[in-house]
């Protein structure tokens, strides 16, 4: 029984500060964070340092890298580097905003289903399953087509098809935490449901929510790229997907116009995934070594 007394000493002071320390010790996650920060910096400061309009024809069409444009020009003579810098901001904006939507829809659905259970749970879970069986990319394509392509419709359509994972995880966390003695104690004290949901259960579910939300950002960025690759985006906003999509017929002549935006998408999604995995390891108590 001595381990109890000793274990008392080793327990963390606060979950989050301990989690952050564990995160900082994770090299892959830290590398992801640095890359993502660089991409964000590129998106916001890049256009100031390299003030070239991504839509302007500034070089010879199909100019290879170095020849008038650092990363080459596409079939119209538009600067690829300018496109990547402009696209970084848009990609991150769409990724984060769409994830914000999924987090809100998912948390509301998941917490109501998990906390109240019974009929509310059954109805909400049937709706979730309905969304789950539809191919998400197809659904968001339909939504964007229906409501004319713009940044806003892209964000909403991605948000609307991707909340299922968040909802399921939040529901599972609510079911687990609802069974804890301290939640029963709150009910016995006469706490209102709203209080129990927002001030007791949600804070305990937060680590999982943060992890799943981070991973969702990567998915949302991929979705945005896919939609704009298919031309389902605002044609007046330069994105990486749009660049790849438009240069696709000329891939053999202008490999740089497809490859560099492709690398940009890959690096962004990879760094977000590394951060997500790092957060999961740092915050998820079930993965933590004892």
Query: Minimum distance from CB of 9 to other proteins (Å)?
Result: 4
- The reply to whether 203 sits near other proteins by the rule CB under 8 A is yes
Residue 51 lies near other proteins (rule: CB under 8 A): no
Give the one residue of 59, 200, 258, 283 binding other proteins; rule: CB under 8 A.
200
Given the rule CB under 8 A, which of 17-25, 28-36, 192-200, 208-216 is the region that contacts other proteins? 192-200
Site string for other proteins, 2-21 (x = CB under 8 A): xxxxx-xxxx-xxx------
The whole-angstrom separation of Cα 231 and Cα 225 is 10
By CB under 8 A, the residues from 145 to 184 that bind other proteins are 180-182, 184
Q: Which of 197, 181, 224, 204 is nearest to 109 (CA)?
A: 197
Closest CA to 166 of 127, 215, 234, 230: 215
Contact predicate 258/72, CB 8 Å: no
Determine contact, residues 114/193, Cβ cutoff 8 Å: no
Q: Tell which one of 185, 231, 249, 263 touches other proteins (CB under 8 A).
A: 185
190 binds other proteins (CB under 8 A): yes
* Residue from 191, 230, 267, 270 in contact with other proteins (CB under 8 A): 191
Helices (H), 50-180: 80-116, 118-133, 136-146, 151-161, 163-178
Give yes or no for residue 286 binding other proteins (CB under 8 A): no
Tally Cβ neighbours within 10 Å of residue 253.
13
Interface residues toward other proteins, by CB under 8 A: 1-6, 8-11, 13-15, 180-182, 184-192, 195, 200, 203-204
């Amino acid at each position: 029984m001595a381990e109890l007394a000793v274990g008392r000493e080793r327990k963390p002071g606060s979950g989050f500060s301990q989690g952050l320390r564990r995160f900082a010790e994770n090299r892959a996650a830290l590398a992801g964070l640095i890359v993502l920060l660089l991409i964000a910096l590129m998106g916001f400061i890049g256009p100031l340092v390299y003030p070239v309009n991504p839509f302007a024809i500034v070089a010879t069409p199909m100019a290879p890298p170095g020849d008038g444009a650092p990363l080459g020009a596409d079939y119209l003579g538009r600067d690829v580097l300018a496109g990547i810098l402009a696209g970084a901001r848009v990609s991150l904006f769409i990724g984060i905003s769409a994830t914000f939507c999924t987090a809100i829809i998912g948390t509301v659905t998941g917490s109501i289903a998990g906390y109240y259970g019974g009929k509310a749970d059954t109805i909400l879970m049937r709706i979730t399953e309905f969304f789950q069986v539809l191919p998400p990319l197809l659904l968001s394509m339909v939504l964007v087509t229906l409501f004319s392509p713009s940044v806003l419709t892209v964000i909403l359509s991605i948000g609307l098809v991707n909340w299922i994972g968040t909802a399921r995880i939040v529901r599972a966390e609510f079911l687990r935490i609802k069974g804890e003695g301290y939640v029963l104690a709150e009910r016995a004290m006469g706490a209102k449901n709203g209080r129990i949901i927002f001030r007791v259960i949600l804070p305990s579910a937060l680590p999982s929510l943060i992890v799943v939300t981070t991973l969702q950002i990567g998915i949302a960025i991929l979705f945005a790229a896919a939609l704009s690759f298919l031309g389902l985006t605002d044609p007046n906003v330069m994105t990486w997907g749009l660049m790849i999509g438009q240069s696709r017929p000329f891939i053999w002549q202008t490999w740089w116009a497809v490859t560099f935006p492709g690398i940009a998408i890959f690096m962004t999604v990879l760094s977000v995934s590394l951060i997500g995995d790092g957060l999961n390891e740092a915050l998820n108590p079930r993965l933590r070594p004892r």
